[in-house]
């Protein structure tokens, strides 16, 4: 019973502190720039704690939600902007 709700995101694999210890914001910025993605941030630490690898695979989370009946796969979205703060 989910009361009509499901996961709103993939969920973290590791803590923010662990992510900051594993990644550097500057490295993430360079990797994103190589893919044509512009990153502007007040803090490189903030970038590191949100590193892609700090989260579960969103496709697997969506498939699981669909399989157990608490979500329905309808579209694959591509973000055009993200604001964290």
Active site residues: 8
Distance of CA 32 to the CA centre of its chain: 14
Residues 2-15 as b or e (16 or more Cβ within 10 Å = b): eeeeeeeebeeeee
Helices (H), 1-85: 16-22, 25-34, 44-49, 58-67
């Amino acid at each position: 019973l989910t009361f009509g709700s499901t996961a709103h995101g993939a969920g973290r694999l590791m803590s923010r502190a662990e992510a900051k210890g594993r990644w550097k914001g500057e490295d993430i910025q360079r990797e994103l720039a190589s893919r044509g993605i512009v990153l502007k941030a007040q803090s490189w630490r903030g970038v590191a704690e949100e590193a892609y690898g700090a989260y579960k695979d969103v496709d697997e989370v969506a498939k699981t939600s669909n399989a157990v009946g608490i979500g329905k796969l309808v579209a694959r979205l591509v973000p055009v902007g993200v604001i964290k703060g």
